Amino acid sequence: MDEIVNKVEESGLIQMDMETFKPKIEIIEIDLAPQLWQGLVLKENEFRQWIKVHDWSIYKNKAVYVHCNADAIIPTWAFVLVGIQLEGVAYKSIIGNKTDLLQSLTADNINSLDISEYKDARLIIKGCSEIASPEFAMTLLVQRLKNVAKSIMYGEPCSTVPLFKRKN
């Protein structure tokens, strides 16, 4: 009886899964639309009162994105005031949409990767993963890894697409 051999393991290829970089923190939104007067404009005094009485502790150690769902022009100072309140409370906060926040968190995870362990490695980055903006994440990952890896491929071991190969 023939022994089953794992050719991928023997090849020295290292598989990486993009899921590794998926943010695992709770995400919360702050929509400024409810603070608009008649759904149209932000009144400074009322907004400052909301800032003063709002329970900012609910954002403790969470990732927060701040935006406005209404079709209104929100002054820059309003976003800054919210950002000031979130500083030191939220794990991370951004002005933008959920995708912007997920990209930022994913970038943090990729940038914290110890790439020294991939020196001269032959890598395969798995293609199918549930990660926001996979093109963004994969491009950032490859940009980091190409400084140390021998080669980088995309896909599954049975059918890969070469992305990068270091010249000798």
- Average pLDDT of the segment spanning 1-12: 59
Residue 76 in any domain: the answer is yes
CB atoms within 10 A of CB 163: 19
Specify whether 84 is located in the same domain as 31.
Answer: yes
Task: Give residue 62's pLDDT.
Answer: 98
Specify whether 38 is located in the same domain as 16.
Answer: no
pLDDT digits (tens, 9 = 90+) for 126-155: 877 788 888 999 999 999 999 999 999 998
Reduced to 3 states (helix: H, G, I; strand: E, B; else coil), residue 155 is strand
Specify whether 86 is located in the same domain as 42.
Answer: yes
Q: What is the pTM of this model?
A: 0.86
Task: Give residue 105's pLDDT.
Answer: 97
Residue 96 in any domain: the answer is no
Specify whether 13 is located in the same domain as 56.
Answer: no
pLDDT digits (tens, 9 = 90+) for 92-110: 999 999 999 999 999 999 9
Contact 132, 96 (CB under 8 A): no
The answer for residues whose C-beta is within 8 angstroms of residue 38's C-beta and 6 or more apart is none
Range of the domain at 82: 27-90
Specify whether 31 is located in the same domain as 80.
Answer: yes
